[in-house]
Amino acid sequence: MVKSNADKRLNYKLNIWISILIFILGTSSLIVSAFSKENENFLLSFRYMTFNGTVFSTLVSLIVIALSFSKVKSEKAYKQNILYYFRLSSAVTEIIIAVVIALSFLPSVPDNPNLLSYDSFNMHVIIPLLTVISFLLHPSPAEKTGALLHLSCAWLITIYSAVIMTLIVFGLIPESLIPYSFLDVHSMPVWYIITFGLFIYSFVYVLSYWLTGMQERICIVRSEKTKPVGSK
């Protein structure tokens, strides 16, 4: 039992330190990204899904840190379902961002980000990786994750897509500032945009299902290893 409690405390502290690292890297990367481009409005940074995803992941990490160091520092508070699903949504969103960026290096895709800069490398590689690890270390909720909850992980992507495409349709974002080629409703065929959207939502569902399953298995394995000798 002592070993079990020690393992839980170690896991708890490791998750806190990862959350602190995400918060530091996220905050510094957002600042660098927002103010690194000359003669560009700060608000234009929000046209990128990467920027919005990093904002979300940074805020979720801040909530984890605040809960950990507040008077609500208890395992019950840390296991709250709302926090669990926020972290799941954050992990799914960050993986989507990383995959989209990876696909952007294909010869047929015109978007080609520079991953060598401080903010870009953090937001596209390091933060997605740390966010997934942080979620996998999070305790599982008591009940199973339902099908609708798996799909609901795409809420941030849905809001972003709806807002950005509305701005593009009404010309509030000029063609030269469209963040991703597959969002260009003026030049891309409708079937292409719909197909890409269906692919994203299907991928979100598969990712959410895979992440929750992996996280549950990690919790089970960890519980088995820390179970007192002779217990059943």
pLDDT over threshold 70, residue 83: yes
Lowest-pLDDT choice from 19-23, 36-40, 89-93, 120-124: 36-40
pLDDT over threshold 80, residue 71: no
Q: Which residue has the higher pLDDT, 68 or 39?
A: 68
pLDDT over threshold 70, residue 122: yes
| CA 35 – CA 47 distance, rounded (Å) | 14
Instruction: Choose among 119, 122, 56, 61: nearest CA to 93.
Output: 56
| CA 188 – CA 175 distance, rounded (Å) | 12
What is the per-residue pLDDT across 179-209, written as a single tens digit (0 to 9) for each? Answer: 877 788 888 888 888 888 888 888 888 898 8
Q: What was the pLDDT predicted at 2?
A: 44
Other Cβ atoms less than 10 A from the Cβ of 129: the count is: 13
What is the per-residue pLDDT across 101-117, written as a single tens digit (0 to 9) for each? Answer: 777 665 555 556 677 78
> Residue 70 region, left (φ>0) first, then alpha (ψ -120 to 50), else beta?
beta
Segment 132-151 shows an average pLDDT of: 74
- Reading the block at residue 159, the tokens are 């809001």
